[in-house]
């Protein structure tokens, strides 16, 4: 009888120790896990153009990568978007801390400037 009580006590103690260890492990994981990423800043949903880059092409390269001109759209007062092809000049520069940055200079064309200033588009 005495031995049964001792045995039951040992079993209960073992279960209690295991439960405490499991609780501590879960709590530790919750407190010390990978930090949650910050969300992008909230913006008003004015939704006039796409909110993220287009999906990757079949070869894994984004559509429109490595082009020597891009399209800039001038929007007329009545809401019409007029596309203009703007030449792009690309160069690689190093920052003071040694980072490699691509500098992309978009050159406006005279026609684009006229349309942008509110004059008649070609």
User: What residues line the site for other proteins (CB under 8 A)?
Assistant: 34-35, 37-38, 40-41, 43, 46, 48-54, 56, 61-62, 64-67, 70-75, 81, 86, 88, 90, 92-93, 95-108, 112-113, 116-118
Question: Whose Cβ is closer to other proteins: residue 21's or residue 73's?
Answer: 73
Q: To the nearest whole angstrom, how small is the minimum distance from the Cβ of residue 8 to other proteins?
A: 45
Q: To the nearest whole angstrom, how small is the minimum distance from the Cβ of residue 120 to other proteins?
A: 13
Q: To the nearest whole angstrom, how small is the minimum distance from the Cβ of residue 26 to other proteins?
A: 22
Q: Whose structure tokens read 């490699």? A: 100
DSSP three-state, residue 4? helix
The CA–CA distances, whole Å, from 2 to 5, 10, 32, 57 equal 5, 13, 45, 76
Token pair, residue 19, equals: 């439960």
Q: In whole angstroms, what is the distance from residue 10 CA to residue 18 CA? A: 12
Question: Whose Cβ is closer to other proteins: residue 4's or residue 95's?
Answer: 95
Closest CA to 73 of 121, 2, 39: 121
Q: To the nearest whole angstrom, how small is the minimum distance from the Cβ of residue 33 to other proteins?
A: 12
């Amino acid at each position: 009888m005495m031995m049964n009580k001792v045995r039951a006590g040992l079993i209960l103690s073992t279960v209690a120790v295991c439960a405490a260890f499991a609780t501590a492990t879960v709590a530790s994981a919750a407190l010390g896990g990978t930090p949650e990423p910050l969300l992008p800043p909230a913006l008003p949903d004015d939704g006039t153009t796409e909110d993220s880059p287009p999906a990757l092409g079949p070869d894994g390269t984004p559509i429109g990568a490595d082009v020597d001109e891009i399209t800039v759209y001038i929007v007329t007062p009545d809401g019409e978007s007029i596309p203009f092809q703007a030449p792009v000049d690309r160069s690689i520069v190093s920052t003071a801390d040694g980072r490699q940055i691509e500098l992309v200079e978009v050159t406006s064309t005279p026609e684009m400037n006229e349309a942008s200033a509110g004059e008649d588009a070609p």
